[in-house]
Structure 1
Amino acid sequence: MQALAELKEQIRQALPDLDVVIGWQQGFDALHTRPLFIRSEEDIDKLVVNEFCVVNPASYLRELRGGKKVGLVLKGCDSRSVIELLQEDLLKEDDLTIFGFGCNGILNHTKLQARFGEIGFIQSIENDGANVTVVVGDNKETVPFTELCADKCLTCVYPNTLQCSHFVGEESTKKPESEKNKALEEFEKLSLEERFAFWQDQMRRCIRCYACRNACPMCVCKDHCIANSREPKWLSEEVDVQNNFMFQLIHVMHLTGRCVECGECERACPMDIPIMLLRRKMAGVIRDVFAYNAGTNAEDTPPLMCFKVEEPTIEERH
């Protein structure tokens, strides 16, 4: 990221008024980053912003409530999580300082592994925005970035951080709003029987580790989650198709109108279950019925969190 030095300087100036700034730092190798909690000037030098900054820093906000002044380095999709939390009055805008930039997409480790085998053998990766050059042993291969990036990046309408306090670098070009997710488009061409069989197979593989819930920045009711509740008891401890289906369908319904499609649930899933198919479907229904995109305006109220006698987009009288 060319504007990284400017970003670090902005954080350096703001840090005295903040308890912590959450961003990313280099992980155990060149292909991984991990969360960075900046509390001193020495920590600022560890900050990195690149195509491997996959973790959504907003996921840590639920652990930092209570009047703390928090700074966040956020991609466009990450910033929508913060806006949605502000809409639900779960955060106070005065407690937040957002550092933004234009995101050109992130790389997907699952796609890298499918293409090159065990990613631990990848020696280096260079990304010029259009192509990714990968060195594995004596082999060097150049692949279009679109073949290795996360699916969400192919149709991202909000690549630039929204409603931020500071912005560095140039804005990224957003995709047309009419562009649909190809995986969802192909899935919806299947018959109802085929779709049901597909999800039965996926739910059979689910181990109900709750990584999808724990990684989601919008899953804020973890102390009262149906997965933990014993009075009333919604789910059995048994890991079977019925209980897995029950959990995932309730999960997607609780996120309907709130999911910002950051993809953290699917990325965290150890079984590579395409959970985002459910999320994107429901987000599309909300867009069609209520003309609403989650997490784009802090002044809005999510449509399923309010009541209107007459919905402007629903002509039920006719």
Structure 2
Amino acid sequence: MADDQRARTLREAVARELPNVDFVLGYARGFDALHATPVTVRTEADAQKLIFDETCVQNLATSLYGLTDKRVGIVVKGCDSRSIVELLQEKLLDRSKLVVFGIPCDGVLDLAKIRVRADTSQVRAADMDGEELRLQTPEGEKRLPRSEVLADKCLRCRYPNPLVADHVIGPELTPAAAEDTYADLEGFEKLSARERFDFWKRQMSRCIRCYACRNACPLCVCKHVCLADSRDPHWLSAESTLQEKWLFQVMHALHLAGRCTECGECQRSCPMGIPLLLLKRKMNRELKDVFNYEAGVDLEAVPPLHTFQMEEEKISDRGLLW
């Protein structure tokens, strides 16, 4: 992608803050025009490598919990900033040790969609020209509509602007949607219970238990004591059975109930293409309906499963027999 004023402004802001932090987490160009890679910036020379465009798909907030002994700068998109808000809500981060460079974002690329639509694995150059993605490939130029290559989360994004930031790089953007209608869940919810179960059995049969979904999740902060790895107590075996795969994914989803910010890193990192975000969004919809809560959007809010009330507005337990 071509350089622009936004990237130059980011480099200048990061360079000014370097004396105040141990390092800054940002994005640099990857091995080709469609890939950005996380980079650790420690010097002004490192800062000149920084980029920000539609290829910056990773949620860098995933690294923060392991860096609580450092004062860290971090570059975040609007959706990524929700992960920081949630970590701050749970008191897993110290706000005074963070310098957040928030960048309004109008969408990132879904490389899986591009591979299917462009039918090529080699890209020499890429440029987002208005509503088109132009790719230079060995077979010649290919043009793909922007709406067909953006990540699904970007098409329904309501938080393109950072919700927490010390430096905002670029003008605010208009959300892609006024509200989340959960249209992606409609077809799934119309299926019978047996059909839904059969769907997940087919999906989970492809899981190789690599735990990329867990490792890429910014809210999975107990990776070093994960139930999937524990042998004392022994919650899960190392067997690659459908039952064990499904049990792990159910535990993962339940541990993220009321916490998942739908950054999509679990699904993006899955080498088998399992639609894991569908499971997380179903859980989020239930939390929204019952508790009227959305993760990572209000620093002052308390996640519903982190508190207790004698009576919930939408849960009536009066008169129940015990």
TM-score normalised over the length of structure 1? 0.95
Structure 1 residue 317 displacement after superposition: 4.8
Alignment match, 1:34: 37
Secondary structure of the structure 2 residue equivalent to 1:127: strand
Alignment match, 2:100: 98
Alignment of 1:116-127 (within 5 A): 116-119=118-121, 121-127=122-128
Alignment of 1:96-245 (within 5 A): 96-119=98-121, 121-245=122-246
2:83 counterpart of 1:81: yes
Q: Answer yes or no: is the 8 Å Cα contact 1:105–1:153 preserved in 2.
A: yes
Secondary structure of the structure 1 residue equivalent to 2:40: strand
Q: Answer yes or no: is the 8 Å Cα contact 2:33–2:123 preserved in 1.
A: no
Q: Answer yes or no: is the 8 Å Cα contact 1:106–1:149 preserved in 2.
A: yes
Q: Distance in 1 between matches of 2:179 and 2:59?
A: 25
Q: Which letter does structure 2 place at the counterpart of 1:185?
A: E
Q: Distance in 1 between matches of 2:136 and 2:191?
A: 38
Q: Answer yes or no: is the 8 Å Cα contact 1:130–1:144 preserved in 2.
A: yes
Q: Distance in 2 between matches of 1:257 and 1:275?
A: 16
Structure 1 residue 143 displacement after superposition: 2.1
Q: Distance in 2 between matches of 1:202 and 1:241?
A: 10
Q: Distance in 1 between matches of 2:306 and 2:85?
A: 15
Q: Answer yes or no: is the 8 Å Cα contact 2:153–2:264 preserved in 1.
A: yes
**Which deviates more from structure 2 when the two are superposed, residues 3-12 or residues 44-53?**
3-12
Structure 1 residue 212 displacement after superposition: 0.3
Q: Distance in 1 between matches of 2:11 and 2:263?
A: 24
Q: Which letter does structure 2 place at the counterpart of 1:72?
A: I
Q: Distance in 2 between matches of 1:89 and 1:152?
A: 27
Structure 1 residue 29 displacement after superposition: 1.0
Q: Distance in 2 between matches of 1:50 and 1:181?
A: 27
Q: Distance in 2 between matches of 1:179 and 1:85?
A: 23
Q: Distance in 1 between matches of 2:178 and 2:241?
A: 38
Q: Distance in 2 between matches of 1:238 and 1:316?
A: 41
2:30 counterpart of 1:24: no
Structure 1 residue 194 displacement after superposition: 1.4
Q: Answer yes or no: is the 8 Å Cα contact 2:120–2:137 preserved in 1.
A: no
**Which deviates more from structure 2 when the two are superposed, residues 110-119 or residues 125-134?**
125-134
Structure 1 residue 316 displacement after superposition: 4.9
Alignment of 1:250-261 (within 5 A): 250-261=251-262
Q: Answer yes or no: is the 8 Å Cα contact 1:131–1:144 preserved in 2.
A: yes
Structure 1 residue 162 displacement after superposition: 1.0
In structure 2, do the counterparts of structure 1 residues 143 and 181 end up closer, same or farther at CA, with 3 Å as the change threshold?
farther
Q: Which letter does structure 2 place at the counterpart of 1:32?
A: H
Alignment match, 1:280: 281
Per-residue CA deviations over 1:185-211 (Å, capped at 9, x if unaligned) read 222222222111110011111000000
2:56 counterpart of 1:53: yes
Structure 1 residue 181 displacement after superposition: 4.2
Q: Which letter does structure 1 place at the counterpart of 2:240?
A: V
Alignment match, 1:62: 65
Structure 1 residue 90 displacement after superposition: 0.7
Instruction: State how many pairs are aligned.
Output: 316
In structure 2, do the counterparts of structure 1 residues 63 and 179 end up closer, same or farther at CA, with 3 Å as the change threshold?
closer
Unaligned ranges ≥5, structure 2: none
Structure 1 residue 233 displacement after superposition: 0.9
Q: Which letter does structure 1 place at the counterpart of 2:9?
A: E
2:42 counterpart of 1:4: no
Structure 1 residue 130 displacement after superposition: 1.9
Unaligned ranges ≥5, structure 1: none
Q: Distance in 1 between matches of 2:258 and 2:130?
A: 32
Q: Distance in 2 between matches of 1:183 and 1:176?
A: 14
In structure 2, do the counterparts of structure 1 residues 114 and 181 end up closer, same or farther at CA, with 3 Å as the change threshold?
farther
Structure 1 residue 170 displacement after superposition: 1.1
Q: Distance in 2 between matches of 1:317 and 1:285?
A: 21
**Which deviates more from structure 2 when the two are superposed, residues 81-90 or residues 182-191?**
182-191
Structure 1 residue 129 displacement after superposition: 4.1
Q: Which letter does structure 2 place at the counterpart of 1:114?
A: V
Q: Answer yes or no: is the 8 Å Cα contact 2:155–2:177 preserved in 1.
A: no
Q: Answer yes or no: is the 8 Å Cα contact 1:202–1:273 preserved in 2.
A: yes
Secondary structure of the structure 2 residue equivalent to 1:250: helix
Q: Distance in 1 between matches of 2:65 and 2:180?
A: 33
